[in-house]
A and B are shown apart, each in its own frame.
Chain A
């Protein structure tokens, strides 16, 4: 088993998945439904960056924050135009609605950008191997960008009034409102963070791979698995779940099961990566439904 590549792949995947899953977990924690359109925020962020960088010729470092901001505003508008009107509907109704919205967004992106893959054009360079870890400059940037954004968001959650309001609303929105917190404003901010983080994840994923209209759809299952494994509705759980899932997936693919058992080398095919996420999701729901970092509800 080669520990270096497994660790490197786990770090990159955990970074991308973690930053995407934060928003998903926020929405579930505060509004109580699984937002299937969250994957499309990932796609919108990536395509907005493409339009700004490749289309309009803006430098990548300028295009990325604008794309994040644009996606965040789109998320807020989506809530104002659609989700706020069905606030009292059941969680399943809102979830089904989000599936429809996701399909519409995906189709619109296909109409404007086509169905073929596009590239953001960043040429990654291999860095020298350090302690068995072989990364490219882009992968290092992905890990650092994710870490920085997560630390900043942690500070927002813990050190600001907005963060306290977000946490209070997630814990009990009625009580938060009774205490004078403007939950409508808090929900808008929640959509802002949700959209911005998803966009960042999508941009990083697109830089590392390529853009496709179904980009968000591809991360949907791992994202749900991460937030479930970590603990539904918990931001820190989403990040922890992403790390646990990424390590689990890459470990499961990296182990030479044949040699371990004294036979010819045999490993799982990489195509089972999504299957491993699904198994993790089901196992968590069966064994510890509140997730690794979640508290048992009554």
Chain B
């Protein structure tokens, strides 16, 4: 009897604690508290006369993939430095308040509440991925705070009332990806995406792009992020035997997928969105097999920004194009505020008009009726000899 009670106690405690532990750590491992880097404008800001205008930045600075988050924060920092050096917002300097979403929606929402309710920011830039952007956007909409999206791409973002995107959404990118794979001669595909709004958005639109072109998607696989082992998913991809894998994988998961699909004999090429946020552990797993569609950075203005302005401040050019987009987003916010003031209403009403006169490092920005950017440049890339290169058409 004593042993039975022991067993029951063991079972109950185990279920509760294991459930809590797994839920908390499903997507990422434990994260370290990261002190935001000191901002440039704190060192040299002529615009010191007025009260600083708080600007929120919410990025993934820890978690499964941090390169893009760091690049985005730096892009905003460079823009703020430039704006403050040229007078700020009519004499008032901009002051950045940087928070880490850690790739976890709940932490992102908590950070957004802090930025909106305590710091009283009129605008937040970047805001992690779609899984974080969607709940943050719902709240920001109720508080009339503008979100400048430079890193999320789910088509569901169109429905958020105070969100404007500097990057294209996946109803554009996903379709181009599917079309590209078909144009390269592949006729059957399997999709493998993280089971989150971003992944599902790519899955749905890549399928549309591929099938509209004449191909057939044989199976759609939505995997759980951050797993230790993707062998069953890799096996499923092998069993389906499609010509090509259309994917939205990123971070460390991508490395495991590329490795384990080869091990089970599925060496089909992978066509992915945003290949610069993939971590490739062993180049042999990806050489000549990994193709990706990335927001463009091949304009001369972008090259100048990355190789001269960014590199001068941080030592090296950014390894992703995301800094360019966050720089443009912040510049557009600053230039608009100079016209009509640091308010959300000003930004929402006047930013599309200001954009028509701003030649950004990502090109001229044109917003559609949902404040989305349908004309963002895209470049095709291929992984060769251990690095991503521009693909030849």
Q: Bound complex: CA of A106 vs CA of B195, how far in Å?
A: 26
Q: Bound complex: CA of A110 vs CA of B30, how far in Å?
A: 7
Interface SS of A by simple majority: helix
B interface size (C-beta, 8 A): 55
Q: Choose from A116, A136, A224, A253 the contact partner of B64 (Cβ within 8 Å).
A: A116
Contact check, A107 vs B7: say whether CB atoms are below 8 A apart.
Answer: no
CB 8 Å contact bits of B1-17 with A (1 = contact, 0 = none): 10110111111011101
Q: Choose from B32, B226, B233 the contact partner of A270 (Cβ within 8 Å).
A: B233
List the B side residues contacting A32 at CB < 8 Å: 6
In the complex, residue of chain A having the shortest beta-carbon distance to the beta carbon of B238: A5
Is B264 on the interface with A (CB-CB < 8 A)? yes
Q: Choose from B25, B235, B239, B256 the contact partner of A214 (Cβ within 8 Å).
A: B25
Is B18 on the interface with A (CB-CB < 8 A)? yes
List the B side residues contacting A215 at CB < 8 Å: 228
* Interface locus among B116-124, B277-285, B302-310: B277-285
Name, among A5, A91, A106, A298, the residue most crowded by chain B CB atoms within 10 Å (CB to CB). A5
Contact check, B14 vs A115: say whether CB atoms are below 8 A apart.
Answer: no
A interface size (C-beta, 8 A): 63
Known: A115-B62, A123-B282, A215-B228. A110 touches B32 (CB 8 A): yes
CB 8 Å contact bits of B56-82 with A (1 = contact, 0 = none): 000000111010000000000000000
Contact check, A5 vs B235: say whether CB atoms are below 8 A apart.
Answer: yes
18 contacts between A and B (CB under 8 A): A9-B231, A28-B10, A96-B17, A110-B32, A111-B32, A115-B29, A115-B63, A208-B229, A209-B229, A209-B230, A214-B29, A214-B228, A215-B228, A270-B236, A285-B7, A289-B7, A289-B8, A289-B11
Q: Which residues of B contact A (CB under 8 A)?
A: 1, 3-4, 6-11, 13-15, 17-18, 21-22, 25, 28-32, 62-64, 66, 195, 221-224, 226-233, 235-236, 238-239, 252, 255-256, 259-260, 263-265, 279, 281-282, 284
Q: Which residues of A contact B (CB under 8 A)?
A: 2, 5, 9, 12-13, 28, 32, 34, 36, 91-92, 95-96, 99, 103, 106-107, 110-111, 115-117, 119, 121, 123-124, 126, 134, 136, 139, 205, 208-210, 212-215, 217-221, 224, 228, 232, 250, 253-254, 267, 269-271, 273-274, 278, 281-282, 285, 289-290, 297-298
